[in-house]
Amino acid sequence: MTGPAEFCITTLKSQFRGVSNLITIDRRASKPLYQQIYDSFRSRIIRGELRAGDLVPSSRELARESRISRLPVLTAYAQLLAEGYFESRVGAGTFISSSLPSRSGSSPSVARGQRLLSAQVAALPKYERPSWAESLGPFQVGQPELQKFPIEIWLKLIARYSRRMRLKALQYADAMGLPELREAIATYLRTSRGVRCEAQQIMVVSGSQQALDLATRVLLEAGRAAWVEEPGYWLVHHVLKAARCRIVPVPVDEEGLSVTAGIRLNRNARAAFVAPSHQYPLGVTMSAARRLQLLEWAQRSRAWIIEDDYDSEYRYGSLPIASLQGLDGNSRVIYIGTFSKVMFPSLRLGYLVIPVDLIERFAAMRQVMDICPTHITQAVMSDFIREGHFARHVRRMRPIYAERRRVLVAELERQLGDHVTIMGDQAGMHLAIFLTPGRDDRKIAVTAARQSLWLSALSSSYVGKKPRHGFVLGFGNTKANDIPQAVWHLKKLIC
Ligand SMILES: Cc1ncc(COP(=O)(O)O)c(C=O)c1O
């Protein structure tokens, strides 16, 4: 017989009471016979079709009925015994294990209805991969120019690391990160970002996202209020939703987050999440007056400020703005930075600057999350910085992004004129445009995406009910030569 052989357990003598299903064996299948027998029994037990205490046919009988040799049956039975699905009783035979929990034969759809999840995950919106995960195209937000990254140097450093790798690199390490990378980051932040810090305050994390989550876990708990910028970074909203915190959207104007409005809305909030150097998505820089007002509120209300400094390496027309953390005399600011924009996003490397008295608490929570950062990326990154490649790459990219931004602003003004208002083009790799009232940015973005134009709808960055409509236009990964055509394309969609 060459086709599937069915061993009907019910056809065996009545001693096999309750065992009523089939063991299907297909001799032509590539799956070995013992595996087919094992899988058949196991899935019927899991589905509740074979119950605890049911007698299993002897290996000899199963082999004979199925017209196969006894060896695969013995192998499958040995495995089922070893894993505890079967048990043998001396002199009585082999049985479905009596210690298995009883399972009703409920259908899978009924079982799925009973899958209880946490309130944290229930609070999160549906997961969607960002557009840039699908393919690259004009105006994608958050993307640096990847083609100009010195990949050969990076690969050489990885190769060198691999050749010299020590046993020590294989061990669990410090939750704070690799000492030489923390040292390099602290030096960079002191000299380039005006951050007041020592290496001991630096914690290496897997991008700002982990830093935002970690800071929330350490500083807030369910039910606590936190200010967020309105509009603001959508993944900050998700972090706070997952932590079951109360989100207090505080309006942003040309000077950044309105501290007066925040105090009016909820003066007792535990934290404020801000991006003062280049606000996301509007791109404004927080004024000195607002910075001082925010620090004063934090000190008075014993609140924390989480400063997200995600893309301030690039500034056009003025010198880089010093961090808010550098102004803070009371250690109320947790500073967060990332290598996603200056290097590449899949690197997943970022850092926190933690007030000295909180270092141990942050380390304790970090240990819960992933114990410690990966060794290889930290070691190669510190070589990349120490040998000057990092500073060189930033220097090289500055005029390239400046030119892209210049062309984009000029083209928007030339081609779109009164149809849009531009905001936040003084730093970073994106700017925002507002549409004239009555336009629906999400609808336009859906149509644009079908034509490979990646427009990020401004209204998605709002928590409140009255969003403004417009787009966040990334120019980091849009070549200057491609910008006029992309703006023409945009014009077709919005005019
Ligand atoms: C406001 C803001 N913060 C942080 C990040 C960077 O996140 P990560 O370091 O996790 O890649 C982004 C990315 O686009 C961002 O827009």
- Whether ligand 1 lies within 6 angstroms of the CB of 247 is answered as no
Distance CA 145, CA 344 (A): 8
Under the banding of pLDDT at 50, 70 and 90, the label for residue 106 is low
Nearest Cα to Cα of residue 295 among 223, 287, 167, 156: 287
- Whether ligand 1 lies within 6 angstroms of the CB of 275 is answered as yes
299-328, pLDDT tens digit by residue? 999 999 999 999 888 988 777 788 999 999
146-173, pLDDT tens digit by residue? 999 999 999 999 999 999 988 989 999 9
Nearest Cα to Cα of residue 326 among 204, 188, 190: 190
CA 137, 139, 142, 144 torsion: positive or negative? positive
CA of 13 to the centre of ligand 1 (A): 68
447-478, pLDDT tens digit by residue? 998 888 999 999 999 999 899 999 999 999 99
For every residue of 260-279, DSSP letters joined together read HHHHHHHTT-SEEEE--SS-
Judged by average pLDDT, the poorest of 130-134, 230-234, 326-330, 390-394 is: 130-134
- Whether ligand 1 lies within 6 angstroms of the CB of 144 is answered as no
Which ligand 1 atom is the nearest neighbour of the CA of 209? 10
Distance CA 417, CA 373 (A): 48
What pLDDT is attached to residue 282?
Answer: 96
Nearest Cα to Cα of residue 342 among 315, 317, 376: 315
In the sheet that holds 246-253, the strands lie side by side as 202-205, 350-353, 333-338, 304-308, 271-274, 225-230, 246-253, 256-257
CA of 209 to the centre of ligand 1 (A): 7
Whether the pLDDT of residue 5 is over 70: the answer is no
411-432, pLDDT tens digit by residue? 999 999 988 899 988 889 999 9
35-90, pLDDT tens digit by residue? 999 999 999 898 888 889 989 999 998 998 888 999 999 999 999 999 999 999 99
- Whether ligand 1 lies within 6 angstroms of the CB of 310 is answered as yes
- Whether ligand 1 lies within 6 angstroms of the CB of 345 is answered as yes
- Return the H-helix or E-strand segment holding 397: helix 389-411
What pLDDT is attached to residue 105?
Answer: 54
CA distances (Å), origin 371, targets 206, 245, 361: 12, 25, 14
- Whether ligand 1 lies within 6 angstroms of the CB of 269 is answered as no
- Whether ligand 1 lies within 6 angstroms of the CB of 280 is answered as yes
Which residues partner with 337 through β-bridges?
351
Which ligand 1 atom is the nearest neighbour of the CA of 207? 9
What pLDDT is attached to residue 8?
Answer: 41
Which ligand 1 atom is the nearest neighbour of the CA of 280? 1
What pLDDT is attached to residue 131?
Answer: 63
- Whether ligand 1 lies within 6 angstroms of the CB of 351 is answered as no
| Residue in the block written with tokens 């390496």 | 313
Whether the pLDDT of residue 121 is over 50: the answer is yes
349-400, pLDDT tens digit by residue? 999 999 999 999 999 999 999 999 999 999 999 999 999 999 999 999 999 9
CA of 455 to the centre of ligand 1 (A): 17
CA of 310 to the centre of ligand 1 (A): 6
Distance CA 79, CA 86 (A): 9
Mutation probe of ligand 1 site: the residue of 311, 343, 347, 349 with most atoms within 8 A of C-beta:
311
CA 405, 410, 472, 475 torsion: positive or negative? negative
Q: For CATH 1.10.10.10, list the domain ranges present in the chain.
A: 5-96
Residue 90: both structure tokens together? 């001396």
202-205/55-56 β-pairing: unpaired
> Atom 3, ligand 1: which residue's CA is nearest?
310
Residue 229: both structure tokens together? 């910028």
Nearest Cα to Cα of residue 105 among 44, 178, 161: 44
Distance CA 49, CA 103 (A): 9
CA distances (Å), origin 281, targets 397, 417, 425, 448, 471: 22, 21, 11, 19, 9
What pLDDT is attached to residue 134?
Answer: 67
List CB contacts of 90: < 8 A, sequence separation 6 or more: none
Contact assessment for residue 199 and residue 353, using Cβ atoms and an 8 Å cutoff: no
Whether the pLDDT of residue 9 is over 60: the answer is no
For every residue of 18-54, DSSP letters joined together read T--SEEEE-TTSSS-HHHHHHHHHHHHHHTTSS-TTP
- Whether ligand 1 lies within 6 angstroms of the CB of 350 is answered as yes
Q: What percent of the chain has pLDDT over 90?
A: 76
Helices H, strands E: what count in the chain? 16, 17
What pLDDT is attached to residue 423?
Answer: 92
Whether the pLDDT of residue 494 is over 70: the answer is yes
262-275, pLDDT tens digit by residue? 999 999 999 999 99
Distance CA 180, CA 201 (A): 13
Mutation probe of ligand 1 site: the residue of 203, 204, 286, 338 with most atoms within 8 A of C-beta:
338
CATH T-level fold of 147-391? Aspartate Aminotransferase; domain 2 (3.40.640)
Contact assessment for residue 287 and residue 258, using Cβ atoms and an 8 Å cutoff: no
Contact assessment for residue 453 and residue 136, using Cβ atoms and an 8 Å cutoff: no
Whether the pLDDT of residue 19 is over 50: the answer is no
Which ligand 1 atom is the nearest neighbour of the CA of 141? 14
Whether the pLDDT of residue 343 is over 90: the answer is yes
172-205, pLDDT tens digit by residue? 999 999 999 999 999 999 999 999 999 999 999 9
List the beta strands (DSSP E) in 347-466: 350-353, 420-423, 430-435, 456-457
What pLDDT is attached to residue 303?
Answer: 98
- Whether ligand 1 lies within 6 angstroms of the CB of 209 is answered as yes
pTM above 0.75, yes or no: yes
Nearest Cα to Cα of residue 240 among 265, 270, 263, 260: 270
Q: For CATH 3.90.1150.10, list the domain ranges present in the chain.
A: 396-494
- Per the prediction, the chain carries an average pLDDT of 91
Under the banding of pLDDT at 50, 70 and 90, the label for residue 4 is very low
What pLDDT is attached to residue 133?
Answer: 64
List CB contacts of 196: < 8 A, sequence separation 6 or more: 190, 325, 326, 328
CA of 109 to the centre of ligand 1 (A): 39
Q: For CATH 3.40.640.10, list the domain ranges present in the chain.
A: 147-391
Output DSSP code: residue 315: B
> Domain 396-494 is of which CATH architecture?
Alpha-Beta Complex (3.90)
CATH tag, 5-96: 1.10.10.10
Whether the pLDDT of residue 216 is over 70: the answer is yes
> Atom 6, ligand 1: which residue's CA is nearest?
208
Whether the pLDDT of residue 22 is over 60: the answer is no
Distance CA 71, CA 89 (A): 21
CA of 236 to the centre of ligand 1 (A): 9
CA of 253 to the centre of ligand 1 (A): 21
